Structure 1
Amino acid sequence: MKTLKRTWLVLTIATLSILAACGNGEEQKPATQSEQLDPAKAAATEVMIENNDTTQIYTEAPKKAISLNQHVTEIMLALGLEDSMVGTAYLDDEIYAPLKDVYDKVPVLAEQYPTKEQVIDAEADFLYAGWKSGFSEKGVGTPEELEALGIHTYLHTSSSITKPLLEDIFTDIRNIAKIFQVEEHGEALIEQMSKEVEDIRAKLPQSEDELRVLIFDSGKQDVTTAGQNFMNELVTVAGGKNIFGDVESGWTTVSKEDTVERNPEVIVVIDYGTTSAEGKINFLKNDPALKETDAVMNERFVILPLSAASEGVRAAEAIQILAQGFYPKSFQ
């Protein structure tokens, strides 16, 4: 993935350069007398976003944003918005390497979700959550509570729907770029991600049947796997077939018997938490039922970090990891 990482570095540097150039340009002028007298002209400068059952109206780009989950933190950094951020939170694992330098410039407010008091102390004007839990009672607070404090909110839509596609991530990126008035950077990021995916897809074998793939999150008595969440899209784009892609839910629990009957040829092991990927693979190799699948007998495992499996800027890298694991001869 050296080429991919170099591309990200070039994109990030270009984004920062554009932002610096914009900062040296003309300052935003106050509304003219005609604009003050004409509400239609003033309204033209507003940005309205429908999100999470709320209507958010922005009269200017947020200046003190906080990202609440890793994959949305990485989206903001990839858009060059670190100077508009007063905090981040909730890493799943190491930050995406091409973004680490800019990530280090932003304060980390909490290992998990920050408290409402921390958000207020940071004088935040915008909160960006990757998961619905961010805006729950157990998270930072509801959108209504935060709006009463003068804080805008955005919930990453592609992480909150069933069967999200790559295009849903692009919609989120466009919305964030629009909110922060960096639309050109948003389109450049989407174009780059799309090109990377197209280049990977071009290497996939065209004549072979799709591989039967099990996504293994965890499980002892039963198997926790992906139904129609984003992992289903990643596996499909990488040329595989999720054996539980017909289950109409996100993460789901299935029986070992059903797993053995569907007989995966490859197992994607999601790497996160206290049990290492190697530990999960050892479990699969020693489980009386699961060790009888083709994937385990042929030791065909692909390890994917949880952060890469989320609906963020690592989508192309995740597809690359999967495609190489599914069809290694095509990527030699």
Structure 2
Amino acid sequence: MRTSSSRAGLAIAAVLSLTACGASEVVPEAEVATEGENATDYPLVVDNCGESMTFEAAPQRVVSLDQGSTEILLALGLEDRLVGTASWTDPVLPELAEANASVPRLSDNAPSYEVLLDSDPDFVTASFARHYRTGGVVERARLAETGVDAYLSPADCEGELLINGGGTRTRPLEIDSVYEEIRELAEIFDVSSRGDELIAELQERADAATDRIEASDRTIAFWFADTKSPYVAGGLGGANLLATTVGAENVFADLDDDWTAVGWETVVEREPDVLVLGDLQRDRFPGDRLADKKDFLASDPLTSSMQAVQEEDYIALHGAEMNPSIRFVDALEKLADGLDEIGQAP
């Protein structure tokens, strides 16, 4: 594979918002902090989900194909490197909005390969392997042929097994996979100290959220999208990790897929105490938005019979919070608040 472009220079603030450049414009070499004792020792070899990449220096032109990976890069102060983002389910985190404002959005959903290539990236990153499979945006091998390194979140693979690329998990996801992505991207871009600080902050918030929750005996179901055949969280992915972290039981923990379509009859039969509802802003499927989900649950003859619906024992999470990302901690905090509120209800 072709290695990334020339090494970056002096520090800039992580929150600095720079003017975005189009694909036809010349992007000046970005400045990234040299991390002292934590400075990346190039050439850097990264083994990532069955692929080996060698970096002679930090990448200069980056396309992120998923919101989760985009927000990690923004949180690391790398908005000046981003020449394109895609696949958004929700507004960007408020604290990252200023940094994101100048970054071109290639597509609200997955972009075409031609659109990706037109942004002239030297590095592509994704949260989900579906972008790199046949029928997705582009296969990693094809990017390699054009000299572009393609990184996949460790949360979506087990070695060479690609979870959302046609594989199924064989073991439960752990939050360390999210921290690994932060750590590796920070090292690739020579900002390891920023990565360490971000991980420490997330760990502190996660500990604070779980410390105020006692082990719960409540059962829950995570409904991501679609009113016809609801996509619910199985027992090995990110949503189930949220459930186990707060001490609750996912009623669909016996299913291996991260997300799978089931019938409403099955949801009613399993009778979860609490429904965790995805509030998605993308409007791709019926019931993406929270209000639409609530209206459906209350009006459908089958689902309206559930006690959780009658009592409105709901907890709302953004779509990005229901998948492995830095928003895992935001989801924990909302679950802690929601379970506490439901527990105190008469």
After TM superposition, the score normalised by the length of structure 1 is: 0.82
Aligned partner (choices 180, 184, 190) of residue 175 of structure 1: 184
Q: What is the CA distance between 1:115 and its match in structure 2?
A: 3.5
CA shift digits 1:281-320 (9 cap, x unpaired): 1221233332232211221111111022222111111111
Find out whether 1:51 has 2:48 as its counterpart. Answer: yes
Change (3 A) 1:220 1:306: closer
Find the partner of 1:225 among 229, 232, 240.
232
- Please give the secondary structure, in 1, of the residue aligned with 2:194: helix
Higher-helix-fraction structure: 1
Q: Secondary structure at the match of 2:106?
A: strand
CA distance in 2 between partners of 1:139 and 1:89 (Å): 13
5+ residue gaps, structure 1 = 1-12, 29-43
Deviates more, 1:270-279 or 1:71-80: 270-279
1:4 maps to what in 2?
A: none
1:124–1:224 CA distance, 2 compared to 1 (3 A): closer
Partner residue of 1:197? 206
Inter-partner Cα distance in structure 2 for 1:216 and 1:24: 42
Q: Distance in 2 between matches of 1:327 and 1:250?
A: 26
1:85-138: CA deviations, max 9, x gaps? 222222212111110100012222233333434434333110001211222343
8 Å contact from structure 1 (residues 69, 131) kept in 2: yes
| CA distance in structure 2 between the partners assigned to 1:115 and 1:137 by the alignment | 13
Show the counterpart of 1:313. 326
Which is worse superposed, 134-143 or 299-308?
A: 134-143
CA distance in structure 2 between the aligned counterparts of 1:235 and 1:14, rounded to whole angstroms:
36
Checking the alignment, whether the CA contact within 8 Å between 1:227 and 1:250 is kept in structure 2 is: yes
* Structure 1 Cα separation of the partners of residues 109 and 198 of structure 2: 27
| 2:105 equivalent in structure 1 | 108
Q: Are positions 1:83 and 2:80 aligned together?
A: yes
| SS of structure 1 residue aligned to 2:85 | strand
Would you say the 8 A contact 1:230–1:310 is kept in 2?
Answer: yes
Please show how residues 82-161 of structure 1 align to structure 2 within 5 Å.
82-160=79-157, 161=163
Aligned ranges 1:251-270 → 2 under 5 Å: 251-270=259-278
Matched positions, count = 300
1:158–1:169 Cα contact (<8 Å) kept = yes
Q: Distance in 1 between matches of 2:343 and 2:275?
A: 19
Q: Identity of aligned pairs, percent?
A: 28
Q: Residues 239-269 of structure 1, C-alpha deviation per residue, up to 9 Å, x if partnerless?
A: 3211111212211233434323322111011
**Residue matched to 1:279:** 292
Give me the whole-angstrom Cα distance separating, in 2, the residues matched to 1:286 and 1:249: 29
CA contact (8 A) 2:83 2:119 kept: yes
Structure 1 ranges of 4+ moved more than 6 A: none
- In 2, the alpha carbon distance for the partners of 1:239 and 1:221 equals 30
Give a deviation string over 1:15-56, Cα, whole Å, max 9, x none.
458x9783799xx9xxxxxxxxxxxxxxx6321112232111
Q: Is the 8 A contact 1:146 1:153 kept in 2?
A: yes
Matches within 5 A, 1:293-304: 293-304=306-317
Query: Following TM superposition, by how much is the alpha carbon of 1:330 offset from its aligned partner in structure 2, in angstroms?
Result: 8.4
Q: Secondary structure at the match of 1:215?
A: strand
- For 2:42, give the aligned amino acid: T
Taking the aligned partners of 1:116 and 1:220, their CA distance within structure 2 comes to 31
Separation in structure 1 between the aligned mates of residue 249 and residue 268 of structure 2, nearest angstrom: 16
- Say which one has the larger Rg: 1
RMSD, aligned CA: 2.8
Partner Cα separation in structure 2 for residue 227 and residue 63 of structure 1: 38
